[in-house]
Structure 1
């Protein structure tokens, strides 16, 4: 087998004492997928040799190896502290500083490999001696070396195989690598976990290189308990901390400011007493993360005064713990940020660093420039949400936004690597924002990227498939997960690859054992394959039905309005009266049941008591994918007109709703074709969070509705809304939204009709080439506005429209534009 050599030099990060640390990651040979392995070593009859007798993490790591091998192979590997006397297959586990009992010839092999640093490891297979040697720089390095070993093993009943030319020396690039495991009702599965399930899941994350978990206190912006929770929250977070500590992992806690008044002595006492109870309950706590907002909203001076008070309480129980804070605020102002960064740079002894997470206005590069070089940054990436989030799926098709929703099962391996690598140089690693197991693939990708940003995504996915599902599925599941990501890219109507993705998963399903079919990781990929294909076929079907219904209405002047309306209604109603692909929908429901049984995943509200608008995407499985709701509402209005001519006129107006007239332009920013008019200073790869570049958003958000959990059919005066109102081009905060029209009539007269819909209700103004079109107005009150374009703005035939928000607003959102040529209308 050919050697694969990858040598990567870390870009460097700034340590807490201001020293520039450099680490080199050497990966000399990565185990290749089983289909390509020409040689393997059989370890089925091997023994584990380890001379370490006292270190608890080394001993725990050996237990991990033995238990995970036994789980998959039913082989109990014996452990001894004596060097084997014969040529017997052996796995040697050791600490780098304690190699004196290993024969010189093997030490020389290890010494010839590149050096490793903290948490690093070396793994080498010495085929002629039937030896596998795994050496950790420190006890954590032993754990991660064993994790890598497990990931490369091909394990099945009675079988343990390992590539015979495996040779790795690796050190993690970033010191913070972890994921949030909040035990609260809002999550889509964690709230149903037992203690043993948390142990298993935390172990899985350690196998993929994570060294931290983040827990939550009992009181957050959520209920205290629900029907799923096995233990009271304060007891479960104590168990989570204990489990993490047993794996040598750091414990973080996300603790929002939920108090009503942090200046009142009485209110402050309640907050302090609560924290004292929580901090006392957890056996380990290394870092406390307090968000500046979302939830909570304190002035920076008051915030840091409160953090100073918290530090004293925290240090009563965890004297070395640090407090980290994020500049996270929904409606930020320049004054707020100035005060915040002034506080950050005061160098409080308890201060740990800055957290960069969702809804932070300042780009991470700018934050790095504004804080002292000795202040570390930790990323807090939202890997769990697909829309209305820190890193939404770019230009997502509305059909998926409507059905898969905000918190679906969402493997995005390629996207996550791009997002990670766009900004990793500014931080010391990350602990992800997660709301459950829906983002399981994304977790492992982030951990691998935090370990080495040069790791190919497919390598992580092959390890994921081999280790979690089985070596038989290494390539099938790895490529199947990549295919699921391709399913959600671009317009769904033309994505015939969705059906091939289902066929690939069905083929694996047909030959799968009961264990594989009961494996939640296989189930998650399978349900998405069925769900996506079902939505693809429904979209084709419902799009065709809508066009047929519109054709009936176009003939209304010949057939009569009432006959046309009746025919249109009957055609549209076939979507639910004569549904298609019922077997695929049925399979989705079966897998919904299976996932609840296997991992506690709550994909529906009624049956499994999911938090509404979160992970319950199965509830959306039959939401309309065409404009039938709006059309049917409009037809009800048309029918109330007692005059035939009046009805025909209303039908014509309805059918021509998007017509801008001769010489005019119409754009629906849910359509990819309309995005050619949007000015973007950066590509998505450069700015995946959309802090400087327009992004797509979803939700109607009219009549003062501040938060849209799901895409809804009703939105204004109780009437159904057109699909085009359900997504928008969005520019966050006070970043200008620029849209350009060219080839206009230079001396023409134009009117702009614009639809302001979306989640945000912001004060926005519109200018054209710096000429005011309208001053600040509050959006969300009515959907459509109409304004005259100043003639001076189009004298060269080009019209640049600029929307901006006032300070502290959420952003500018536009769903539709009609640019009407009014030159010859009078």
Structure 2
């Protein structure tokens, strides 16, 4: 057994001990107290099952001492007051009693008495016993015919946060795209217990068997109710921020009455939850004038609903989330809470869209710019600190953090740069602006869904430490089981927040892959996080980390004992991810090499070769593009692993079914060649020159690539376009080059995207070329998206009135600049929205803007100096 460091927290002090070799035992006996309650007995049975599971190691549970097998590890498990033998052992060894202050509520002691082969596992309370079992399972090295435990094991600890929870279940993406089987009830229970053994104490659930199962282990439950969601006639519909249905206007008396009745009907017959969450709604309420400020309408209705719940369940703690509320909504709630004691309310919930100091997808419409004056540690912690400052002391701040999506989410890659809010505000260039510069690798993001298998140790460790110091805990948002590492790490940090990210990853890997494989898997997890991020200086085809991750996970297989490997669905998920990443890299490299070959062939033809033959040869090469032998092997390996992981635990990487893509815009290249084949003379040459030297504006010219983090030095107005909704592959054709797919835009401003040029030749003539393309919208957004054209101006001269923009596939548009516009050596190119865009009632304009509306839109601009 190799040595490692492990941390425990007691009374706020971190103790570091070194794990050394321990004795091996051929069997295990778990002895509970004569007065053990039902939870202690269930924990003992759980521990027995988990120890025996890998190899059938003889493991039994007993209440009183009996004639046990020789060379057996004896575990005294339970609450000392219920276990006289455990209590006596603590006294004989002069071990301080476990109390609510030392180590604290839900705490435990796990201590090995090597001299007499006894392991003490004492819990302060019921949950403390469960967490003691979790610590034992993390420390044991279960082998084929024995179990080894460090003889120096001595952990006395309690959780740092009172609320430690999550959601559980399979995602719709896993079922639909990854084609996984349904979990059995036993598998769902296992997932719950895996997180509980890591330290979780609260689970979001509905009434029924899983509620009863969770409570049977002494754990807490959270229910929920949508104060503003429910059925009703059209006249009750809210003016939801992006126009979604299913939300009700709380200013309609009949809607309020119906919601109160629905609340009564639900909670009259429901079990008693420890917590009930009233979510503000993913849409953030109603935008109509009668609901302004919506936050006040919402909180007053929640107060009435809380009274209903407390009538039937007086011990239930009530909290709400301010998801996507704006500043006025939040301020109205602050004032309401400060007016008089609101004893019915336990806490303020902080979830996706709740943050008033970061521009994350979901488009909170206003931001607290005043909080950036002295930004401290950066954007994530600014608003929680402000909420806590304004909350009356009786209320808690609890989190509903989103660590389940790898892009387009609260703490994920934001996909593209944030748009200006309703006040025209964008995030300051200081105070953590780097969170907006993080982007997903543009090749990998085409293969993997928003709900894909991933692990983010370093970034989420940073997010945790920025946020959690202001709250009492977290019941995280999880949309499936693809976020396994993130959720597990979160529970461990909620227990011991000072733990380093290296130690958390090391513990995770030892727990799930064994001590020998842990170093390889830990390195692989850190490498995986690095691979996912776009590195402008290192494109995907040059990322050595892709191969490194593949090798590390492959090598780890040989270090995982067979008894653990045969059912290890998690290692198979990591291996699938490694194989699919490598496949994607090879596919992008193959396409890039093909494009380079075509460019070289056309270049030689333009220099004096056979142009027609070069075009035909290039088109033939595009037709012949096929999966390489190495790619096929990787795909087959990922497929086999996916079948195994699905059979073992109903999990699989959906990327396996989504590997065929035009990653670099070969569709544009094909179209350019086909057009050149039909053209003659200078038109043909012009088309082919763009293939060879795409960005070149010619002598004295300028090129601007308008997108996120692209070089666009002449842009003075506009900001990168984020598509306005979660990334949908159909919105733009993959046949576009990457530079054509990203763009700058403006919303409802009267002046659109603007470029300004200086030091032009006053005697020269100039032409301007644009790349234009507009996105396709899903049906729920399309009805309000009437923008299809824009006007183009050079200074104040109209170059094109209501110039149409093609949908999905880009085209070039070229215009001569009147020499009067450049005679002073300067030029302003400006776009203006169509006259019928972003007009009408305020609410309709807001819904248009929030769901991705654009007024002007442009991908690329060439200003070209014409030959004399």
SS of the equivalent of 2:103 reads coil
Flag the structure with larger Rg.
2
C-alpha deviation, 1:387, in angstroms: 1.4
Q: Would you say 1:542 and 2:530 are equivalent positions? A: no
C-alpha deviation, 1:464, in angstroms: 3.0
C-alpha deviation, 1:778, in angstroms: 14
Partner of 2:245: none
Q: Would you say 1:353 and 2:343 are equivalent positions? A: no
Q: CA 1:326–1:387 in 2, change beyond 3 Å: closer, same or farther? A: same
C-alpha deviation, 1:66, in angstroms: 1.4
Match among 238, 243, 246 for residue 216 of structure 2: 246
Contact 2:740–2:771 (CA<8 Å) still a contact in 1? no
C-alpha deviation, 1:469, in angstroms: 3.8
User: Distance in 1 between the 2:744 and 2:112 partners?
Assistant: 54
Partner of 1:526: 575
Contact 2:740–2:860 (CA<8 Å) still a contact in 1? no
Match among 586, 589, 596 for residue 636 of structure 2: 586
SS of the equivalent of 1:163 reads coil
Q: CA 1:544–1:654 in 2, change beyond 3 Å: closer, same or farther? A: closer
User: Distance in 2 between the 1:4 and 1:511 partners?
Assistant: 20
Gaps of 5+ in 1: 9-22, 217-236, 604-615, 680-693, 764-770, 789-794
User: Distance in 1 between the 2:75 and 2:747 partners?
Assistant: 54
Alignment of 1:316-465 (within 5 A): 316-329=311-324, 333-343=326-336, 345=338, 347-363=341-357, 364-370=381-387, 371-374=390-393, 375-393=395-413, 394-465=438-509
C-alpha deviation, 1:250, in angstroms: 1.6
SS of the equivalent of 1:107 reads coil
User: Distance in 1 between the 2:67 and 2:805 partners?
Assistant: 75
Contact 1:212–1:431 (CA<8 Å) still a contact in 2? yes
Structure 1 vs Structure 2 CA RMSD: 5.0
C-alpha deviation, 1:408, in angstroms: 1.4
User: Distance in 1 between the 2:540 and 2:225 partners?
Assistant: 40
User: Distance in 2 between the 1:29 and 1:413 partners?
Assistant: 21
Q: Would you say 1:723 and 2:738 are equivalent positions? A: yes
User: Distance in 2 between the 1:494 and 1:672 partners?
Assistant: 19
SS of the equivalent of 1:40 reads coil
User: Distance in 2 between the 1:408 and 1:366 partners?
Assistant: 29
C-alpha deviation, 1:126, in angstroms: 2.3
User: Distance in 2 between the 1:778 and 1:164 partners?
Assistant: 78
C-alpha deviation, 1:43, in angstroms: 4.2
Q: CA 1:756–1:645 in 2, change beyond 3 Å: closer, same or farther? A: closer
User: Distance in 2 between the 1:644 and 1:739 partners?
Assistant: 34
Contact 2:108–2:129 (CA<8 Å) still a contact in 1? yes
User: Distance in 1 between the 2:314 and 2:573 partners?
Assistant: 42
User: Distance in 2 between the 1:81 and 1:730 partners?
Assistant: 74
Match among 35, 60, 69 for residue 53 of structure 1: 35
The C-alpha deviation readout for 1:602-632, integer Å capped at 9, x for no partner, is: 65xxxxxxxxxxxx32232121222112222
User: Distance in 2 between the 1:379 and 1:252 partners?
Assistant: 13
SS of the equivalent of 2:647 reads helix
Contact 1:549–1:572 (CA<8 Å) still a contact in 2? no
Alignment of 1:173-188 (within 5 A): 173-181=160-168, 185=172, 188=175
Partner of 1:632: 670
SS of the equivalent of 1:93 reads strand
Contact 2:521–2:552 (CA<8 Å) still a contact in 1? no
Alignment of 1:97-112 (within 5 A): 100-102=87-89, 104-108=91-95
C-alpha deviation, 1:80, in angstroms: 3.2
Q: CA 1:660–1:580 in 2, change beyond 3 Å: closer, same or farther? A: farther
Contact 1:711–1:726 (CA<8 Å) still a contact in 2? no
Partner of 1:79: 62
Contact 1:251–1:286 (CA<8 Å) still a contact in 2? yes
The C-alpha deviation readout for 1:654-706, integer Å capped at 9, x for no partner, is: 55543344456546577877599999xxxxxxxxxxxxxx9x987xx4xxxx5
Q: CA 1:166–1:187 in 2, change beyond 3 Å: closer, same or farther? A: same
C-alpha deviation, 1:169, in angstroms: 2.0
Match among 711, 723, 745 for residue 729 of structure 2: 711
SS of the equivalent of 2:729 reads coil
Contact 2:98–2:123 (CA<8 Å) still a contact in 1? no
The C-alpha deviation readout for 1:453-508, integer Å capped at 9, x for no partner, is: 22233433343333334444333333333332233243322211211321232234
Alignment of 1:57-72 (within 5 A): 57-72=39-54
User: Distance in 2 between the 1:369 and 1:516 partners?
Assistant: 48
Partner of 1:42: 24
Partner of 1:220: none
Once the two structures are overlaid, the 10-residue window that deviates more, 356-365 or 265-274, is 265-274
Alignment of 1:20-169 (within 5 A): 24-29=11-16, 32=19, 37=20, 39-51=21-33, 53-74=35-56, 75-81=58-64, 89-95=73-79, 100-102=87-89, 104-108=91-95, 115-169=102-156
SS of the equivalent of 1:147 reads helix
Q: CA 1:746–1:104 in 2, change beyond 3 Å: closer, same or farther? A: farther
C-alpha deviation, 1:161, in angstroms: 1.1
Match among 263, 287, 300 for residue 275 of structure 2: 287
C-alpha deviation, 1:320, in angstroms: 2.0
SS of the equivalent of 1:433 reads coil
User: Distance in 2 between the 1:731 and 1:358 partners?
Assistant: 25
Gaps of 5+ in 2: 237-247, 287-293, 358-380, 414-437, 788-794, 818-823, 833-837, 839-844
C-alpha deviation, 1:445, in angstroms: 0.7
Alignment of 1:790-809 (within 5 A): 809=849
User: Distance in 1 between the 2:167 and 2:273 partners?
Assistant: 14
Partner of 1:14: none
Contact 2:98–2:124 (CA<8 Å) still a contact in 1? no
Contact 1:43–1:90 (CA<8 Å) still a contact in 2? no
SS of the equivalent of 1:133 reads strand
Q: CA 1:520–1:293 in 2, change beyond 3 Å: closer, same or farther? A: same
Partner of 1:17: none
User: Distance in 2 between the 1:255 and 1:649 partners?
Assistant: 62
SS of the equivalent of 2:310 reads helix
Contact 2:279–2:323 (CA<8 Å) still a contact in 1? yes
Contact 2:138–2:510 (CA<8 Å) still a contact in 1? yes
Q: CA 1:151–1:750 in 2, change beyond 3 Å: closer, same or farther? A: farther
TM-score normalised per structure 2: 0.72
User: Distance in 1 between the 2:446 and 2:314 partners?
Assistant: 48
Contact 1:666–1:817 (CA<8 Å) still a contact in 2? no
The C-alpha deviation readout for 1:361-394, integer Å capped at 9, x for no partner, is: 4135224324315232222222221111122243
User: Distance in 1 between the 2:99 and 2:297 partners?
Assistant: 56
C-alpha deviation, 1:289, in angstroms: 2.1
Contact 1:119–1:172 (CA<8 Å) still a contact in 2? yes
Contact 2:170–2:479 (CA<8 Å) still a contact in 1? no
User: Distance in 1 between the 2:105 and 2:776 partners?
Assistant: 46
Alignment of 1:476-555 (within 5 A): 476-489=520-533, 490=535, 491-509=539-557, 513=562, 516-555=565-604
Partner of 1:687: none
User: Distance in 1 between the 2:295 and 2:500 partners?
Assistant: 41
Q: CA 1:258–1:630 in 2, change beyond 3 Å: closer, same or farther? A: farther
SS of the equivalent of 1:378 reads strand
C-alpha deviation, 1:198, in angstroms: 1.3
C-alpha deviation, 1:403, in angstroms: 1.1
